A and B are shown apart, each in its own frame.
Chain A
């Protein structure tokens, strides 16, 4: 009997496909998310919108709070560690979380190195903006990916940009001659073996969700139609007027992303969406997606 193999790590993400993962900051919110049909929750101390508003250094959450959420729900619980913070990741593993998100939403701990994720028994998810970044993270051991978008804005434009970029680069790679793969691997700074695997299979070797700016059922369905495997909704639910109703609506729109009639129906009377920040109004220093190397 072998535990914590690559198959079990990447396999859990396979089981989340087609689903919605919601950011929660309390056990009560976690129960609401589970009841609404979330396939997993991301336990964190402040949602990205509050991290933006309050500023300061954003770190791993209090173990008590993560433990409380683990005890509150039966679905998988994920938690965030800072980029490169190998000890925060060790702590989260010891708490028994089901996935660690090495996340640009928190303040990076290392500006050169990501965590060597092969060293851990718990699987990791990482953010990406393009295929090179995606394959570098897989090379380091990530068993699941999410396109980054721009967290805490409620503006879906960056999520779309990153998902479209990854998908377009996979399509381009799939049409390449075998001889071209070496140079392409060099140009996107990605491990050659992984570049080759994507070229052969015409898809990423792990599950890829969308994240960062999804605020409405239509946003979630948009990302699904662009070809991602599922969505993360962070601030979009619990910063809105009616979180219960919105959470249920986003789950349904994600399942039935090709059915405009259903998306129209679930989008009715959801109350206020999160206020949102137009990304073009943000100074470069406040963008999170650029963190990660």
Chain B
């Protein structure tokens, strides 16, 4: 998606890779796995420091969990970045059989609804005063939020053809 927009993309697996990037996306996956590897390869502190110094950071699904100040229904002691003033509830909709697609109106992205894909997705709760809620489900549960240059989304814009969320992140 980013390459299609015309942005140069590189993978960050070790601290030395971090120096090459201006913005960072923490993708979907298993937050326990990503968190563990971040500790092992000493990425947790450098990413936290860069984000606190103003690097735009976007977490989707597992990435959003890692950015939250607190993880609900996680593994006890699960490592995380704890950057955003929000609580992420893991697997909030249930198991894979409860994964779903839905059309959401997201004001920040314009009038056309965004088609979104939720896979064993978390929800975001208890946003602090600095957090701007970007998207909610029909029942009011929060699925995207922003705090300055930090962006968190429960869904996966990379699994659709809609690049508006990616462009929004690139503008942060």
Give the distance in Å from the alpha carbon of A70 to the alpha carbon of B117 in the complex: 23
Q: A75-B30, A98-B120 are in contact. Are A11 and B97 (CB under 8 A)?
A: no
Q: Give the chain B neighbours of A281 by CB distance below 8 A.
A: none
Q: Give the chain B neighbours of A15 by CB distance below 8 A.
A: 28-30, 61-62, 119-120
Number of residues from A at the complex interface, CB < 8 A: 38
CB pair B98 A3 closer than 8 Å: yes
Give the distance in Å from the alpha carbon of A256 to the alpha carbon of B62 in the complex: 20
CB pair B33 A96 closer than 8 Å: no
Interface residues in A176-197 (C-beta closer than 8 Å to B)? none
Q: Give the chain B neighbours of A17 by CB distance below 8 A.
A: 29
Q: A7-B117, A74-B91, A256-B13 are in contact. Are A34 and B32 (CB under 8 A)?
A: yes
Q: A15-B61, A15-B119, A252-B40 are in contact. Are A8 and B30 (CB under 8 A)?
A: no
Closest residue of chain B to A77 (Cβ to Cβ) is B95
Contact with B along A249-265 (1 / 0, CB 8 A): 00110011001000000
Q: Which of A35, A39, A252 contacts B29 (CB 8 A)?
A: A39
Is there a chain A Cβ closer than 8 Å to B156's Cβ?
A: yes
Is there a chain B Cβ closer than 8 Å to A16's Cβ?
A: yes
Closest residue of chain A to B115 (Cβ to Cβ) is A7
Is there a chain B Cβ closer than 8 Å to A27's Cβ?
A: no
Is there a chain B Cβ closer than 8 Å to A209's Cβ?
A: no
Give the distance in Å from the alpha carbon of A18 to the alpha carbon of B28 in the complex: 11
Q: A15-B61, A19-B29, A39-B33 are in contact. Are A122 and B96 (CB under 8 A)?
A: yes
Interface residues in B44-69 (C-beta closer than 8 Å to A)? 61-62
Interface residues in A15-46 (C-beta closer than 8 Å to B)? 15-19, 34-35, 37-40
Some 7 contacts from A to B, beta carbons below 8 A apart, are A2-B101, A3-B99, A8-B101, A16-B29, A37-B33, A38-B33, A256-B13
